[in-house]
Amino acid sequence: MTCTKSRRRSWWPPLWAALAFLASLAGTVSPLVSRSPTKQVAFVLSSVLLVAREQPVNAQSTYLESLMYQGSAVAACIRHLRYGGSVGCQAEPGTTGILYMLSEQSDVATFTATAPDAKYAIVMPYTIFNRANVQALRASGKTSGILLVKAATGFPTPDAWSPDSPTPNAQYGLYANQSEASWHAWNPAGNSLAFDSFDFPIFGITNGPSSLQSAVPVIEAAMANKKTGYSSYPLYAVQFDAFMYAADDAETCLRRGFCDPVGAISVWSSFTPYLNANPDTNKPIVLVSAKLDSTSFIHDWGFIPSGASLSPPVFAVGADPKTGLVAALAVAAALGQYLRAPNSAALAKDIIFTFFDAEAWGFAGSQRFVKDITTPQTCLEAQAPTSACPTSDATCSKPCHFDLDFQSVKIENIDSIVEFDTVGGINTVDPTMYMHVDQQSAANLALMDALKSGVVTPVVNGSVPQTMNIMAADASARLPPSSAMAFLQKRNIPAVVLSDYNTQFSNRFYNSEFDDSATWNATTVSNICALANATAQSIFKLASGNATVPATIVADCNFVQTLMDCFTRNLSCTFLAQFFPLLGQLGLSQLSADAGPFNFNLGVLSYVVSRIIQNVTSTDRGGACLSDTDCPTDYACLIFSTPQTGQCVKGFVRYHWAYGTGIEMNYGSSSFEVVDPTKATWTQSQYRDSSSTNTGVQLRIFQASSARYAGLQLGVGLAITLVAVGATIAIKVYSKRRFKTD
Amino acid sequence: MTATAFFGNALTAYGPALAVLLLYVALQAQLVLLLMTAAFFWLVSSLITSLIWYIITPMQDAAAHGLPATIFVGVTIQEGFRYAFFRLMKKADTGLTSISSRPTSRLNQPINAFVTGLGFGVMSGLISYISQLAESSGPAILPCASCPGTDVFFIGAITTSLFIFLHTAWNMIALDGWYRGSWLPFAFCAACHYAASYGTLLTPSSTVRNGCVISIAICAGLLVVCAALAARTVDARLR
């Protein structure tokens, strides 16, 4: 420091660095604009710090995060979009909240009045999760998110709770054109919360069968906070990760590619001789139908991604709708036993089984099936996969279909429809089954007459035998929400919906997380079995024209029991492992019946139902096999005695896409678009963080410090830095004065 | 709140060192070079420590005696490299003096020792704390077991800040001794280094109450003593 010139120059680099540092703190430095290398280095350094937080790439970060954050298995209320708007929830990135326990109604007022000023993640039971409370929590300005707890100690199950509307899917059904006031309220427990829009995250936790699916860590952390009065930091907090890309409405998000149609895959089938029939014949068809799906307020992700450390809990089990599905499968099995026999006579009418999926979303499965069978189609392009039809399973890629066999189902040939809704008698006093029809027409009355019956329910696992009457429901209510409506919209077909309720759903948990395995018992199985038995015999009479029913047409109550068990309690059961060996190895208990995003992939339920129906409707069996490829066309490799060897089974089973008919593929742009706002246009947002090992919905529990503590840290940092600056300058000044010669 | 904690920790850990760097070291190019060279030497010592840690697997068992063993090896190798660096500097002493801004100054050796010590300290501070600093920008804290109400990252920031200047002081004391041909000051520094490092084990302790306070008090007490001794080395040159 001898001359002033060099001294001034030597001041520049540190000055630049300091300026750049301060500027990068304020976030104003853009390396693109900046020409100064020092600035760029400062920017890069601060970016590196931020990146290190976002993506823990090094081992030390991973180790530290494992000490600081505990993951919890969750599912979330997610954003669904339709034509003209959106419903569901959204989580801004980095939403956190201190866990706050609300146990009963009075706690809501206590929270809004007395909780110290902070952002809270409310832990609450479903019993007090209603619109008024949500609004009160939101209005307090202290709520960052909600954690709904299902079935844990201290979190009671509501007496009745359904997030669906009181008139489910009425705007997509047979009476859509009639005034809203005339719609019959089938679902009195419906609170329509599923159709509200929330600008904050709502996650669901529950004690699943696996230790990885536990609500306990969250509950214990919230209880610990409660003990301190939410004032003694550090407090337990959570971070909600469920950022969803889609915004506005279905049209916008589909155009931007930020959402997928809500959908799944329907299954339809017939007995093997159908394969040999000429599709152009006018042979009448008896359609036996049931739905595959259910839904809930907290939406499941679906099948657990391999490699995920936490398996998300299953909220949409849909036990009650499964009773209808199992009844239809039992009918197919009973009829198959006769038709499989070498001396059986061919039926005068074809029997077709339809298992529609995504019915909770504006009857997507049945509406699409009916739309396709009533629209003449020719395959313009067979080569698959293509970008518009990204599945090698499709035999036609334009229009994209698994196959075009559905064209043989001519709507004018459909002679009658028998649909099973909930038929387990869950929550009903007596096992009466009701037949619902649209109009009291002669054809409908005749069909009801054919199905009418009075039987004694069989004894299953100690159930008490009761007299089951199958009788006409109250005429004024007309048809409940059902797949049959899609057919009736096109043509007046005799159609009966069988259910265990008369004018209101027996299911108090319609399309909710409480419609689970706990709802049914041996009596349910007995009811399903009795109805399936009576209906199988009635359908034989309808289809054959014979008044006498062969002795082999009888429903198997063990089959019913096994299916109910496998579908709602033990997905990895040995029965299903015969059809899907992998399932037996995974050790899964519950199966989500939520439709989820449509991605042309087969869901587990669609797949196992297709295999079961192939087995029970088959009339021809071949040799041993390892997979379907070892069998001839229309044979499937089933009945795995060991995980390796199965048997070729001939059958007629087809898949059909099930997503809203308001949405169609644009083969020009290879993307879905809204084509008909009056039909179902439900889409589901994509998540920011979803990957092969991450569902995109995550919850992390951690301990948080108070704002005052963080302020103290900053104060200490500033203070000692300033002291160091002062000391450095002082020493420089002092030494300059004292050591003039040095 | 989390950004506040991040900047608070960053300033606590690196603010004082940054102030000295910008206001003193950065003004003279040869000092910057010396600092970087010393930092590199510390880095190599850390690399060798980690290799030993990697090869001798019992050291990886933190639950048993892995941690004290790792500290022993780490401190020993750091001090070894301090000597190695001194030998290198001694070879270059004439050159360093000649390129100094004041070649005739009696303070060139203490200043070089100060700057290289700072280099040692800064690199050790960066390596041992930067991951924690990055994590402290997240919403969570890691509660300090020995001092309820505080968090590990803030205690770590204070410790880091102290260690940077402890290294500076030790370097001045040790190098001064070696220049005079005495190993006693170095032995004292090494002992201080062991004491300060083993003291940090009290911070995560769940049995010692106020362990973090004791740990910081050890470091701070040693810094006062060592800083005074370091100042004496400067003073001695001027007599």
Q: What is the pLDDT of residue A345?
A: 86
- Residue A489 CB contacts under 8 Å (≥ 6 apart), including other chains: A174, A370
pLDDT in tens, A619-675: 788 888 988 999 998 899 998 876 678 899 998 999 999 999 999 999 999 999 999
Residues 207-236 (A) with a CB less than 8 A from some CB of B: 233-234
Q: Which residue has the higher pLDDT, A698 or A471?
A: A471
Q: What is the pLDDT of residue A735?
A: 84
- Could you tell me if residue A166 is inside a domain? yes
Q: What is the pLDDT of residue A58?
A: 60
Q: Which residue has the higher pLDDT, A174 or A15?
A: A174
In this structure, are A402 and A541 located in the same domain?
Answer: yes
In terms of residue numbers, what domain contains A117?
66-244+692-704
The model's pTM is: 0.86
- Residue A629 CB contacts under 8 Å (≥ 6 apart), including other chains: none
- Look over chain A and give the mean of its residue pLDDT values, rounded to a whole number: 87
Contact check, Cβ <8 Å, A239/B139: yes
Which one of A9, A51, A721, A737 would you mutate to disrupt binding with B, by most B Cβ within 10 Å of its Cβ?
Answer: A721
How far A42 CA lies from chain B's nearest CA (Å)?
A: 13
Beta strands at A350-356 and A263-270: parallel, antiparallel or unpaired: antiparallel
How far A23 CA lies from chain B's nearest CA (Å)?
A: 14
Task: Say which amino acid occupies B203.
Answer: T
Contact check, Cβ <8 Å, A68/B22: no
Full strand arrangement of the beta sheet holding A75-76: A70-72, A698-704, A235-241, A95-101, A120-125, A143-150, A202-206, A75-76
In this structure, are A563 and A415 located in the same domain?
Answer: yes
In this structure, are A236 and A277 located in the same domain?
Answer: no
- Chain B CB within 8 Å of residue A724 CB: yes
Contact check, Cβ <8 Å, B134/A233: no
Q: Which residue has the higher pLDDT, A438 or A19?
A: A438
Which two structure tokens, joined as six digits, stand for A237?
Answer: 């907090």
Task: Say whether pLDDT at A547 is over 80.
Answer: yes
- Could you tell me if residue A376 is inside a domain? yes
Angle at A524 between CA A288 and CA A326, to 5 degrees: 30
**CA end-to-end span of chain B, whole Å?**
52
- Residue A382 CB contacts under 8 Å (≥ 6 apart), including other chains: A395, A396, A397
Full strand arrangement of the beta sheet holding A683-685: A85-87, A80-82, A683-685, A259-261
Alpha-carbon dihedral of residues A724, A730, A736, A742, nearest 10 degrees?
A: -40
Q: Which residue has the higher pLDDT, A164 or A596?
A: A164
What percent of chain B has pLDDT above 90?
78
Contact check, Cβ <8 Å, A53/B138: yes
Contact check, Cβ <8 Å, B101/A725: no
Q: What is the pLDDT of residue A208?
A: 77
Which two structure tokens, joined as six digits, stand for B61?
Answer: 């068992």
- Could you tell me if residue A183 is inside a domain? yes
All residues of chain B having their beta carbon less than 8 Å from the beta carbon of residue A53 are 134-135, 137-138
Q: What is the pLDDT of residue A22?
A: 39
Residue with tokens 């669906």: A164
Q: Which of A42-56, A397-411, A495-509, A662-676 has the lowest mean pLDDT?
A: A42-56
A359, A264 contact by CB (below 8 A): no
In this structure, are A651 and A537 located in the same domain?
Answer: yes
Can you tell me the mean pLDDT for A181-205? Answer: 95
In this structure, are A485 and A542 located in the same domain?
Answer: yes
pLDDT in tens, B195-217: 999 999 998 888 888 999 999 99
Residue A40 φ/ψ, nearest 5 degrees: -65, -40
- Could you tell me if residue A61 is inside a domain? no
- Could you tell me if residue A506 is inside a domain? yes
Sign of CA dihedral B95, B99, B104, B108: negative
Beta strands at A70-72 and A75-76: parallel, antiparallel or unpaired: unpaired
Residue with tokens 């409908």: A444
In this structure, are A227 and A256 located in the same domain?
Answer: no
In this structure, are A483 and A608 located in the same domain?
Answer: yes
CB neighbourhood size of A587 (10 A): 11
Residue B135 has its nearest CB partner, among A53, A705, A710, at: A53
Residue B5 has its nearest CB partner, among A14, A710, A725, at: A710
Q: Which of A8-17, A476-485, B146-155 has the lowest mean pLDDT?
A: A8-17
How far A427 CA lies from chain B's nearest CA (Å)?
A: 46
- Chain B CB within 8 Å of residue A68 CB: yes
Residue B5 has its nearest CB partner, among A713, A721, A739, at: A713
CA distance readout (Å), A288 to A221, A354, A618, A639, A645: 51, 6, 17, 25, 32
**CA end-to-end span of chain A, whole Å?**
12
Angle at A193 between CA A187 and CA A199, to 5 degrees: 170
Angle at A12 between CA A7 and CA A18, to 5 degrees: 130
Q: Nearest residue on chain A to B237, judged by CA atoms?
A: A742
DSSP A661-673: TTEEEETTTTEEE
Angle at A689 between CA A73 and CA A295, to 5 degrees: 55
How far B161 CA lies from chain A's nearest CA (Å)?
A: 9
Number of domains forming the structure of chain A: 3
Contact check, Cβ <8 Å, B4/A239: no
Q: What is the pLDDT of residue A693?
A: 56
Beta strands at A698-704 and A263-270: parallel, antiparallel or unpaired: unpaired
Q: What is the pLDDT of residue A280?
A: 60
All residues of chain B having their beta carbon less than 8 Å from the beta carbon of residue A715 are 8
Sign of CA dihedral A504, A505, A506, A507: negative
Task: Say whether pLDDT at A42 is over 60.
Answer: no
What percent of chain A has pLDDT above 90?
68
Is A82 in a helix, a strand, or coil? strand
- Containing H/E element for A106? helix A105-114
Q: What is the pLDDT of residue A698?
A: 86
CA distance readout (Å), A124 to A17, A151, A156, A203, A225: 51, 11, 10, 11, 14
Q: Which spans in A545-653 are helix H?
A: 557-568, 574-577, 581-586, 604-617
Task: Say whether pLDDT at B1 is over 70.
Answer: no
Contact check, Cβ <8 Å, A713/B26: no
Contact check, Cβ <8 Å, A720/B28: no
Q: Which residue has the higher pLDDT, B237 or B41?
A: B41
Q: What is the pLDDT of residue A54?
A: 42
- Chain B CB within 8 Å of residue A13 CB: yes
In this structure, are A76 and A44 located in the same domain?
Answer: no
Contact check, Cβ <8 Å, A724/B11: no
Angle at A720 between CA B125 and CA B190, to 5 degrees: 40
β-strand partners of A148? A124, A204
Q: What is the pLDDT of residue A11?
A: 40
Task: Say whether pLDDT at A24 is over 60.
Answer: no
Q: Which residue has the higher pLDDT, A11 or A204?
A: A204
Contact check, Cβ <8 Å, B101/A739: no
Q: What is the pLDDT of residue A275?
A: 59
Q: What is the pLDDT of residue A412?
A: 93
Can you tell me the mean pLDDT for B151-176? Answer: 96
DSSP A379-392: -SB-----SSS--T
In this structure, are A191 and A148 located in the same domain?
Answer: yes
> Residue A629 and residue A620: Cα distance in Å, rounded?
17
Q: Nearest residue on chain A to B102, judged by CA atoms?
A: A742
In this structure, are A445 and A512 located in the same domain?
Answer: yes
pLDDT in tens, B40-78: 999 999 999 999 999 998 888 877 788 899 999 999 999
Task: Say whether pLDDT at A612 is over 80.
Answer: yes
> Residue A669 and residue A341: Cα distance in Å, rounded?
51
- Residue A308 CB contacts under 8 Å (≥ 6 apart), including other chains: A693, A694, A695
Q: Which residue has the higher pLDDT, A681 or B65?
A: A681
In this structure, are A423 and A540 located in the same domain?
Answer: yes
Closest alpha carbon to A563 in A698, A555, A257, A394? A555
Closest alpha carbon to A579 in A651, A667, A639, A621? A639
Task: Say whether pLDDT at A695 is over 90.
Answer: no
Can you tell me the mean pLDDT for B216-231? Answer: 96
Task: Say whether pLDDT at B239 is over 60.
Answer: yes
Task: Say whether pLDDT at A182 is over 90.
Answer: yes
Can you tell me the mean pLDDT for A483-506? Answer: 96
In this structure, are A536 and A670 located in the same domain?
Answer: yes
- Could you tell me if residue A360 is inside a domain? yes
pLDDT in tens, B97-133: 888 888 888 888 999 999 999 999 999 999 999 999 9
CB pairs < 8 Å spanning A and B: 150
All residues of chain B having their beta carbon less than 8 Å from the beta carbon of residue A729 are 23
Residue A581 φ/ψ, nearest 5 degrees: -55, -35
pLDDT in tens, A61-117: 788 888 899 888 888 999 999 999 999 999 888 899 999 999 999 999 999 999 999
- Could you tell me if residue A60 is inside a domain? no
Is A496 in a helix, a strand, or coil? strand
Strands (DSSP E) along A9-94, which ranges?
Answer: 70-72, 75-76, 80-82, 85-87
All residues of chain B having their beta carbon less than 8 Å from the beta carbon of residue A18 are 22
Residue A14 has its nearest CB partner, among B22, B131, B141, at: B22
> Residue A565 and residue A596: Cα distance in Å, rounded?
23
Q: Kindly list the domain boundaries of chain B, sorted by start residue.
A: 2-238
Q: What is the pLDDT of residue A278?
A: 59
- Could you tell me if residue A20 is inside a domain? yes
Contact check, Cβ <8 Å, B11/A711: no
All residues of chain A having their beta carbon less than 8 Å from the beta carbon of residue B231 are none
Whether a cis peptide bond, with omega within 30° of 0, leads into A399 is: yes
Q: Which spans in B56-107 are helix H?
A: 66-91, 93-99
